[in-house]
Amino acid sequence: MEKQLLRFKVNGDEYEVYINPKTLLAEVIRDHLGFTGTKRGCETVSCGACTVNVNGFSVKSCSVLAIQCQDMDVTTVEGLEKNGKLSPIQRAFLDNGSYQCGFCTPGMLMSSTAFLEELKGEVPTEEKIRESIEGNVCRCTGYNSIVRAIDAVAQGKYKEE
Amino acid sequence: MINDFHYLKPASLKEALAMYAEHDDCKVICGGQSLLIVMRQGMVAPEYLLDIKHVKELSYIKFDEKDGLRIGATTTHREIEKSDIIAKKYPVLVAMEEKLASIQTRNWGTIGGNLAHADPAGDPGPVLIALNAEIKFGNSGGEKVVPLDEFFVDYFETQMEHGDLVLEVHVPTPEPKFGCAYQKFNLLDSDMGIVAAAASVTLNADGTCKDARIVLGNAGPIPLRVTKAEDLLKGKKLDDALFAQAGTIASEECAPVADIHASEEHRRHVLGVLTKRMLKKAFEQAQKSA
């Protein structure tokens, strides 16, 4: 199978990788580039552990062909930290204990980051917050603390450091 | 494990149609939110994969008072969900999209891909048929427009043949005194419907029923129209008794299969209840609309 050149940005850096066109975005991110923060869970677009943001939109990287991200801008959980400082939603997760085993956390962080950016300062209802993580499953049932963390950031309690 | 394939990336619609015509064992991918799952299971293993995700000519939402709504095939579900004009003119489409899979899937998956995949449990099919939509598809030799309720042929099969791409969905401007409602029955909001029902009602100036459509989801091999119940309503002054009667007909006329999620009997029952409720909701909307 002839390999294809994939040129794209991950967490602000340019990458060029030669891949078999069937390679999934989650495989390129984890196995080719070594960003193992992105988790592979169900592999059937159900659990959301593999969520990354492509051009600002959350997608499930287990079910996106990497080659379709040509020239696009991908952010993984490793890209949320800026200059060694955690992002507001990361700090809110820490303060609210929004994780137990941690497997869903990278996906939860990416979905909530996309949601908070979309809000543009508007304060959401709890229902809207819950809808924003509808595509992410947490099997430790820690949803309430995750909702509290997203709410705290949406209320402006955490600023970019 | 996904089987190896040759990757084809056309730069334009014209090139996409030419490439598709040239390659026999070829599948089309757009968002791939349905296709990649079956490819990973090995159920679909084409030699060539034609990627039309980047064909921008097919990504648009246009509305004109006279002509109605036109949505290009590569428009994502999320673009439909977030469209102001669709929210204003066809709120049922936005409500349907908000419950379609998850945000991540809607961000990458497309309306054309959903309809071409022809899963009878898909959400857009029943709603668009209730809205009297048409679909345009075509190949390098020409285009064809058919009513959406004639497009689906069987489980995962449509009228399209090799070389055909979905191009556009056209939804006419609703007539005055029109209402349309859709609900699916499931345990998790973001799941596929165990069953679903869409209904639309158009009223005459005197309040009698001018037209009605009832379309069931996951109730048979294709989105299923219950014409027998539709005929019952036409020309009549609508009331709860008629909606209940239409629901009974729907539960008799549907052809659901039993699976791990629900028995056939349970599905028939819920389809009857949903039909009754959606007709009432559509009727009340029609009464209120100008």
Query: pLDDT tens-digit profile of B173-226?
Result: 999 999 999 999 998 877 889 999 999 999 999 999 999 999 999 999 999 999
Averaged pLDDT for residues A50-61: 98
The highest-level CATH class for domain B178-288 is alpha beta
pLDDT averaged over chain A? 96
In which band, very low, low, confident or very high, does the pLDDT at B98 lie, cut at 50, 70 and 90?
very high
Subunit contact B49:A21, Cβ cutoff 8 A: yes
The topology under which CATH files domain A88-154 is: DNA polymerase; domain 1 (1.10.150)
Does the pLDDT value for residue B277 go beyond 80? yes
The highest-level CATH class for domain B58-171 is alpha beta
Give the separation between CA B256 and CA B24, rounded to whole angstroms: 34
Subunit contact B105:A60, Cβ cutoff 8 A: yes
Q: What percent of chain A has pLDDT over 70?
A: 100
pLDDT in tens, B9-35: 999 999 999 999 999 999 999 999 999
Q: Characterise B241 by phi-psi region: left (phi > 0), alpha (psi -120 to 50), beta (else).
A: alpha
Question: Are B6-50 and B58-171 in the same CATH fold?
Answer: no
| CA-based nearest distance A69→chain B, Å | 10
Say which residues have a Cβ less than 8 Å from residue B265's Cβ, sequence separation at least 6: none
pLDDT in tens, A69-96: 999 999 999 999 999 999 999 999 999 9
What are the residue ranges spanned by the domains of chain B?
Answer: 6-50, 58-171, 178-288
pLDDT averaged over chain B? 97
User: What CATH number labels B6-50?
Assistant: 3.30.43
Give the separation between CA A43 and CA A59, rounded to whole angstroms: 13
What are the residue ranges spanned by the domains of chain A?
Answer: 4-79, 88-154
Give the separation between CA A63 and CA B134, rounded to whole angstroms: 29
The model carries a pTM of 0.96
In which band, very low, low, confident or very high, does the pLDDT at A160 lie, cut at 50, 70 and 90?
confident
Subunit contact A63:B51, Cβ cutoff 8 A: no
pLDDT in tens, A106-151: 999 999 999 999 998 899 999 999 999 999 999 997 799 999 999 9
Q: Are strands B6-8 and B48-51 parallel, antiparallel or unpaired?
A: parallel
Please tell me which of the candidates A21, A43, A51 has its beta carbon nearest to residue B104: A51
Averaged pLDDT for residues B88-97: 97
User: What CATH number labels A4-79?
Assistant: 3.10.20.30
Q: Which of B1, B67, B4 is nearest to B38 (CA)?
A: B1
In which band, very low, low, confident or very high, does the pLDDT at A24 lie, cut at 50, 70 and 90?
very high
Residue A47: predicted pLDDT: 94
Q: Which residue carries 């990973």 as its tokens?
A: B40
